[in-house]
Structure 1
């Protein structure tokens, strides 16, 4: 039941050796955990830490090419190695105990599900709680709201690798929104779901992609929303309106408003 031999943690990394080590040390599983770190041209190169209960490999990219290419290469390498499930996490984030076993068990029991997330605690770089992300759990609700809100936290995902390869893998067509691009393609043939329990502490970092590449990310998201727009679904139009608001309003103001709304919702 706790066998994780066909699961691998997939972590792209660019510098940040200490964050890589802290993140990997957070996993608590009853079985050996396989890890593939994709070193995206770090200087100095990322070194595989020695952690009890982990088997860690490093795939080195020839140069820094961005998270999209790093994830694409990582999935391809795991597929070649016969791994069935890729569990995403980013350096700086922390996993809750038993996350991998819980996600694998769900995926084994739900063959139509190709992408499985978990609820997320969002914290500051100092670990202080900011707000929680509790998106819909069921596939039908996710399909209905997918373009209106963030239904998945990317570093919480477990992905069915054969489905990812079939869908065309990660790609760089939508910079900084590679996760949404992949998920929307997966949902054309498969289901997506969330386990309604917390599986991740997500570090909100001012130097992360969502902050430093915000405009690129929002433009990519808007392009995807328009591509997959269902004209009779009001929630899709709401998502388009939200993306436009993100283009014209300051990042800090929107982040503060989101945190206040989420806090008020969780305390209601």
Structure 2
């Protein structure tokens, strides 16, 4: 690691969405000590505009771009970024997606948590799910904060919000990179490896604003994601007892229902649960 390099780097994949990238970069506060790597996954229709991106980035670090020659999907983009990061000796990796935005001091809070809890290899947090047009909050998504409850939740679905996580880079030597055999559920697959081999946690507070647009998720992608989830639940069923099979039945039920209906039901239930 060079003398000027931060311990932390934020990995942001990009594909034909330069305005959202600028919004995400601008949300990283000026006091945050982090570098950022943006991996462009072969954008042709709307490539990155580097000047606005650099102007938006105000953190105490360096913004870098990695351009892939062709579009191969987010799993390949993320793994290309991780290989770049591992070759340069960063100790922590945070995630953020184009359009999603950090809450103040998000990175500092997660860094402090991992420093205080050296047994924890990955930490996430809660997210405010917002309408991408109005920026209005639709509901807050929270996951369990302690490892035992996280493992139980993983039987049903991911216990982490992907762009809200931060993890130790050296843990990847054990977990491996994002698996390529779980289309549209690469994050769930990687998180299973973390909970199997390490302690994990979630911060109880909201750390990001997450753009959630039910109209943007295609039916084909949703089906692919659910089928991948079901495969992963079956793969990790050992030791889960009835909860493992209940999780698989839940995924099958969701697969049979329209996404918009599921989205509305979840939003209604979570809004009722808000204090």
Query: What residue number does 2:94 align with?
Result: 87
2:75 and 2:157 map into 1 onto residues whose CA distance is: 22
Deviation of 1:160 (Å): 1.1
SS in 2 for 1:87: strand
Are 2:214 and 2:263, in contact at CA under 8 Å, matched by a contact in 1? no
Residues 1:263 and 2:271 aligned together: yes
Q: Secondary structure of the residue that 1:131 maps to in structure 2?
A: strand
Q: Secondary structure of the equivalent of 1:64?
A: coil
Are residues 232 and 20 of structure 1, via their aligned partners in 2, closer, same or farther at CA, if it must alter by over 3 Å? closer
Q: Any idea what the Cα deviations from partners look like across 1:68-121, whole Å, max 9, x if unmatched?
A: 011111111111111111110100101000000111111112222122101110
**Which residue of the partner structure matches residue 69 of structure 1?**
76
Q: Does 2:117 align with 1:117?
A: no
Q: 8 Å contact 1:9–1:88 — kept in the other structure?
A: yes
In 2, the alpha carbon distance for the partners of 1:76 and 1:209 equals: 28
Q: Does 1:221 align with 2:229?
A: yes
Total equivalences in the alignment:
265
Residue matched to 2:26:
25
1:4-153 paired onto structure 2 within 5 Å = 5-43=6-44, 44-48=46-50, 49-50=53-54, 51-53=57-59, 54-126=61-133, 127-153=135-161
Of 150-159 and 235-244, the range deviating more from structure 2: 235-244
Asked if the contact 1:210/1:217 (under 8 Å) is kept, the reply is: no
The counterpart of 2:191, out of the listed 183, 191, 197, is: 183
2-structure distance, mates of 1:186, 1:210: 29
Which residue in 1 is equivalent to 2:182?
174
Using the TM superposition, give the Cα deviation of residue 211 of structure 1 relative to its aligned residue in structure 2, in angstroms: 6.0
Return closer, same or farther for 1:31/1:263 CA change in 2, 3 Å cut-off: closer
Going from structure 1 to structure 2, the CA distance change for 1:185 and 1:232 (only over 3 Å counts) comes to closer
Given that 2:32 and 2:107 are in contact with CA atoms closer than 8 Å, whether structure 1 keeps it comes out as: no
SS in 2 for 1:136: coil
> Unpaired runs of 5+ in structure 1?
none
User: 1: CA distance between counterparts of 2:225 and 2:272?
Assistant: 27
User: 1:242 is matched with which residue?
Assistant: 250
Contact map agreement 1:119 1:132 (CA 8 A) in 2: yes
Please say if residues 121 and 132 of structure 1, whose CA atoms lie closer than 8 Å, have aligned partners that are also in contact.
yes
Cα 1:9–1:199 shift into 2, 3 Å: same
The secondary structure found in structure 1 opposite 2:121 is strand
Mind listing any 5+ residue stretches in structure 2 that lack a counterpart? none
Distance 1:86 1:212 in 2: 30
Q: TM-score, normalised by structure 1?
A: 0.93
Deviations 1:141-168 (A, max 9, x none): 1112211243110000002111123311
Task: Choose 104-113 or 190-199, whichever is displaced more.
Answer: 104-113
After superposition, give the CA deviation of every residue in 1:30-82 in whole Å (9 maximum; x if it has no partner): 24431000000012431332233352101111100100011111111111111
TM-score by length of 2: 0.91
Contact 1:176/1:209 (<8 A) preserved:
no
Give the whole-Å Cα distance in 2 for the aligned partners of 1:211 and 1:130. 22
